[in-house]
Every structure is written in structure tokens, then in C-alpha cells.
Structure 1
Amino acid sequence: MANNNKNIVLNVPTLRFPEFGGEWKKCNLGDICSFFSGGTPSSSNKEYYDGVIPFIRSGEIHSKKTELFISEEGYRNSTTKMVQTGDLLMAIYGATSGDIAIGKIDGAINQAILCLRTVENKMFIKSVWQKHVNKILLTYLQGGQGNLSAEIVKKISINIPEYSKEQEKLASLMSLIDERISTQNKIIEDMRKLKSAIIKRIFSVEYLCQRRKILLSDISLKITKKNTDNKITNVLSNSANQGIVSQEIIFDREIANKENTSGYYIIKCGDFVYNPRKSTAAPYGPINKYEGSIDGIISPLYVCFSTQNINRNYLYWYFQSKAWYKYIYKNGDTGTRHDRVSIKDDIFFAMPLYIHNPVEQQSISKNLSKIELKITIEEHQLELLFQQKTYLLQQMFI
């Protein structure tokens, strides 16, 4: 590949395939694309739905299937529009604003999707958009408010090669990277499914009934020591998706006042924390093990406990299963807040556990930890692929 690192100001990319020369031309997307968006059939008319036409919503532009289907009557009596496989689809409303994809199915689109049709290479246009999308969103969706529109997108200025062959070669390169990213995502997804299936099998209620029954109180001690002198400033939070991590990682800022954390519990590496806040990932709140190398402090809204006479890693995996859900469901309630489980400490620690013998505990925790490590390695590989894609977008496109 050739590069353009000289001080001559040319409208060319920094990194370029050596067989191509000449400057790129500047234009607006409105000069090379036509645009239309769709609409939504009235949800009050049941005859408009459950038909045979896939109804594509903004979160489904990358998918080969849709959750909803509309009828011919619904199509005729609404402003929805049909798109074809291979059309460029852009999400213009809400959290997915700016997301772009080459459509994988024929179907009808709603008002949150903008269809772009062009004689230029669609993968090239998609790649140019992906290079600039963050800057575009910062300009037009300040503070996350507002939406994109056809009028905004039409005025976006881009640069394209004079010759279609260069577009095609760049598009081919980016397609290969996207395919590799898709494959890597599938590898990670399959490994997560494998881990979930193993956890479900090992800790299933039917399987555990053959094991020794104990109470959580038999192997744990409630942590009551507090940060009375405010000496510890490592404020932690227990997240269903991220585990026990710094509060700043979850909220992008400090929530607790570090000068007034005297009521926070002190936890050490290996201690467990129950967060009664419910979520999709943890319908009865997550129980996680702290892996940090330094002591931390955590809100008194959480239940914290240390353990004894049990493999801690095994217990961590036990709480990643659903084996304890039924007990919380029967003995906890929502209290005054629908998003939080309310359960008294003595009832929580009376939770029955059906555990394996020590040898099995060691084997189970070792094997599941190996799978988790493999997933982490594959996730790192995925991050490297995204970094590679970002680099090429920055260097090979203007």
C-alpha cells in the first residue's frame, strides 16, 4: 500500500492501494443517494399485523429476521415503505441513531429507518459513514437529544474515489474485516451458550437434589465492619453484567461522596456481595465475588458476606446459576420499590444450597473458569479486530 505522508495537501487518504492515483472528489450524500423512510401501521387494528411482510425496526437492520410481520392491508393503509435486500438502511431515531447496515431481507420499514439508494458501492458508503458517524452524532444529537433525518443526512459531505475500482477494492477489504468480526462474535456467542448450558446442567434443581443440602449461614458470615474512619476510598458497586467493580466504571463518575462513606461495608478479595436490585440479566439481583487486590467499600444497601468451608470459586458459579432463584422468589418481595427485592438478612442467610462434594467443587470451578478465560481471550481478539477496522477507516478513507 502507498502512503501520503508528504506535506503536499492533496485530497487523498493517508494509506492507499498503490495501483490507484488522483485526488478524491468531494460531494454531499444527497448528490449520490436517494432517500426515503417508512411508517407504522396503526397498532389498534389487528388486521394490519400477523401477515407475511417482515416489518423491520431500527434495532433489526443487521438481522435476517424480524419480530413483527404486517399484512398487505397494513402496508396499503400506512406510510411504511418496502426495502430490498442490499439496500442501505440507517437508524435515525433513539439509542441506535447513526447505525447503518446493508439490508439482509426484503421488508417494510418504519419511520425510525432511512433507506439510502445509490449507484455507488454501498459497502464503501457504509464505511465512509462509519468513519464519521461519531462526529456527526455529536454535531446533530447533542447530549443524546434529537434525531437524524433525511434532510440532515443529505447535507453530510463525504469524499469518494474518482474510479469505481478503488471503491470496490476498499469495500472488499472492509467486507472481509466485517465478516471476520461477525465470525468472532459467533465464536463468543457459542462459547457463552456452552457455559450457560453447562451451568444449567450442573446446577439444575433435579441434579442438585441428589447433593448435600446446607444453608448459606452454614458456610458464611455476614460482613458488618464499616468504613467508620473514611480511610478506604475504593468505592465499589455490584453490577449484574460487570461484577463487583469500581463505581466509576459503571456510572462514569463517582456517586458516593468519599468523605462520607462511614456507613459503607468493607470487603476484601474473595468476599461475596448480593445486590437486591433486579434487572433483565439478574431478575432477583446478582450475587458476585469480589476479585480486587485491594480492600473496597460498598453501599449498606447490599448484603455482604465472607465464606468458609467451601470452594469460593465453586460458590461463585453456583450463584451464576438459577438454582437459588426460587427461594428468593418465595421469600422476598418488592417492598416499596418494584425494581428491588426486599428480603430480611436472617431469611437471606437461611437460603438452602445443594452442593457437590469438595472434589467435584474443585473440578467444576476449574473447568468453568477455563471456559470463562477462553471467552475473555476471544473478547480481547474481538477488540483487536475493531481497533484494526477503526485504524483502516481512519487511514484509508477521507
Structure 2
Amino acid sequence: MAIKGSGSPMEAVDEYFDMLIKSRFIEMFGDIKTNSKGWKCHKLGELGSFKTGGTPSSKHEEYYQGTIPFISTPALGPNYIDDSAAKYHISKEAIENCATTLIPAGSLIIGTRINVGQSSINKIPMCTNQDIVSMMDIDKKYDLLFLKHCLNQYIPYLDSQKKGATIKGITVELLKSVMIPEPPIDEQKQYVDFVEQVDKSKAVCK
């Protein structure tokens, strides 16, 4: 199926499967920004704990000679990221001497500047820069991948709220204020199963 306005064949594949995932989400859960299906909702900030990142000083070359993946916003967007998404690897000493934090595996990593609202689930522990906030200890009423796709629905809104003189972004408080529906966990799992099957089909096509 051709996608109008697509570039390369691989971009067309991505666009087609992404459209399937978005359509399925709306079919099952409606427009979550208006809560068109009347779900019980919670603010994102009520569903977990949040940590911001930081960047080790480039004056210390030894900080960038470690083994801990260090993530910036261009890496965000895929459902899952691992060591291959890291542009740099930092040391434990770097963590001890800057504002970054080691984020445990199975957290939701969210961009607040540049790729605003883009998010990924980390498969392994990693650190992030100051343009990212990480959500941990997530409420058991939510499947993590479902929560990631809820945030995907808010990307246009969050992007419209960017402020700043040079590099524009959003505040963590604004991010925490978005409303997340609470459909039954079985329905969340059903959607997640669909997403994972689509991802497999996308990989086969590529």
C-alpha cells in the first residue's frame, strides 16, 4: 500500500505500520485528549516517580570512557531502546559528579526538549541528559508500553506548548499534568499484543 507523501520505501513501511498502530489505539481507547470514551483518568504525575538527567563535564575525558549508556533525545521514539541507542558511554565517576542518574531498566524515558514528548522504554540501565525526564516505579494498573502509546497521542499538544529563547522545551510539571485513561489491564495487554505483532511484521518487511 502506497502512502501519499512518503519518501523511501522503508519510510513508507514505517508510516504504514505506524498508521495501523495509531488507528487501533483510537478504535480501542478513543481520543484520550478529550476522553471520548469516558474512561477514569489520572494525571501522568500520579502514576510514578520522575527523575531528570544531566550531562557530565566534557572537560573530564575520563567521564566518557566508561560502560554506562548515555542517552540524548534523538534516541527516543522506538518502543524499546538498549545499549545500541547510546551515543556515548560514561563512567560511574561521571554519575557521581554531575546531575545525571542511573535509570533502572523498565522505565519510561521522555524528551522534554528537542524531541518533545517522544519516549522509549529502556531495556537496560542507562543515564540521560538534561533534556530528558525518566518515569519509574510505574503504577501496576498500567502496562508500560500502553502508557508509552498514550504519551504518543499527546506529542502534537506537547510540541505546541514548547517555550524558550533558543532550545525550546516543556516543563516537567506540564508533562505530569496530561491525563491518562485507565482502561482494564486486559484491554491494555490486548493493544500491546497488537503493537508487538505489528512491530514483527514491520521487521519482516524491512
> If the length of structure 1 is used for normalisation, what is the TM-score?
0.39
1:216 and 1:188 mapped to 2: Cα distance? 28
Change (3 A) 1:236 1:348: same
1:232/1:212 CA distance change after superposition, 3 Å: farther
Task: Give matches, 1:71-82, under 5 Å.
Answer: none
- Higher RCO (CA 8 Å, separation ≥ 6 residues): 2
| Structure with higher strand content | 1
Question: What CA distance in whole angstroms lies between the structure 2 residues aligned with 1:225 and 1:257?
Answer: 13
Aligned to 2:106, the other structure's residue is in SS state coil
Post-superposition Cα deviations, 1:273-315, rounded to whole Å, max 9, x if no partner, equal: 1212335xxxx331222123xx211123321111122111211
Which structure 2 residue ranges, 5 or more long, are not aligned?
57-62
Which AA in structure 2 matches 1:191? F
Instruction: Give the Cα–Cα distance (whole angstroms) in 2 for the partners of residues 187 and 346 of structure 1.
Output: 36
- Superposition deviation, residue 197 in structure 1: 2.5
Match of 1:220, as an amino acid?
A: G
Instruction: Give RMSD over aligned pairs.
Output: 3.7
**In the alignment, what sits opposite 1:372?**
199
Distance change >3 Å, CA 209–CA 341, structure 1 → 2: farther
Name the CA distance, whole Å, in 2 between partners of 1:201 and 1:376.
24
CA distance 1:220–1:232, shift in 2 (3 Å): farther
Distance 1:185 1:274 in 2: 23
Rounded to whole Å, the distance in 2 between the matches of 1:305 and 1:244 is: 15
The question of 1:233 aligning with 2:101 is answered no
For 1:101, the equivalent position in structure 2 comes to: none
CA distance in 2, matches of 1:249, 1:312: 19
| Counterparts of 2:25 and 2:182, CA distance in 1 | 13
Q: What is the CA-CA distance between 1:356 and the residue it aligns to?
A: 1.5
Partner of residue 94 from structure 2, selected from 260, 280, 301: 260
- Return the alpha-carbon distance in structure 2 between the equivalents of residues 207 and 201 of structure 1: 13
| 2:192 maps to amino acid | S
Give unpaired runs (5+ residues) of structure 1: 1-64, 67-180, 380-398
Report the equivalent of 2:149.
Answer: 317
Structural mapping, 1:1-398, within 5 Å: 189-205=15-31, 206=34, 208-223=36-51, 233-238=68-73, 239-242=75-78, 244-246=81-83, 249=85, 251=87, 254=88, 258=91, 260-262=94-96, 263-279=99-115, 284-292=116-124, 295-306=125-136, 307-309=138-140, 310-320=142-152, 322-323=153-154, 325-326=156-157, 328=158, 332-337=161-166, 339-343=167-171, 345-379=172-206
The percentage of counterpart residues that share the same residue type is: 10
For 2:134, the aligned partner's letter is C
- The 1-side partners of 2:85 and 2:47 are apart by 31
- d(CA) in 2 for partners of 1:346 and 1:268? 22
Q: Deviations over 1:308-362 (max 9, x none)?
A: 2211121122223x24643x367x441222x43131x334323221231212111
CA distance in 2, matches of 1:288, 1:358: 20
Native 8 Å contact 1:267 1:297 kept in 2: yes
How many residues end up aligned between the 2 structures? Answer: 184
Contact in 2 for aligned 1:222/1:305 (Cα 8 Å): yes
Contact 1:223–1:304 (8 Å) recurs in 2: yes
Are the aligned partners of 1:208 and 1:354 in contact in 2 as well (CA < 8 Å)? no
Q: Distance in 2 between matches of 1:196 and 1:219?
A: 23
Larger radius of gyration: 1
Q: 1:335 to 1:273 in 2, by over 3 A?
A: same
Does structure 1 conserve the Cα–Cα contact (< 8 Å) formed by 2:114 and 2:131?
A: no
TM-superposed CA distance for 1:377, in Å, is 2.4
Question: 2-side partners of 1:185 and 1:234: how far apart?
Answer: 27
Judged with a 3 Å threshold, the aligned counterparts in structure 2 of structure 1 residues 369 and 349 are, in CA distance, closer, same or farther, namely same
Q: Deviations over 1:111-157 (max 9, x none)?
A: xxxxxxxxxxxxxxxxxxxxxxxxxxxxxxxxxxxxxxxxxxxxxxx
Cα deviation code 1:146-184 (max 9, x no counterpart) = xxxxxxxxxxxxxxxxxxxxxxxxxxxxxxxxxxx96x8
Could you tell me how far apart the structure 2 residues matched to 1:211 and 1:257 are? 43
Aligned residue for 1:341, secondary structure, equals: coil
Q: Aligned AA for 2:113?
A: R
Aligned partners of 1:213 and 1:353 also within 8 Å: yes
Q: How far apart in 1 are the matches of 2:162 and 2:17?
A: 34
Alpha-carbon shift at residue 203 of structure 1 (Å): 4.8
Residue deviations 1:209-229, cap 9 Å, x none?
A: 511111112211113799x9x
| AA in 2 matched with 1:348 | L
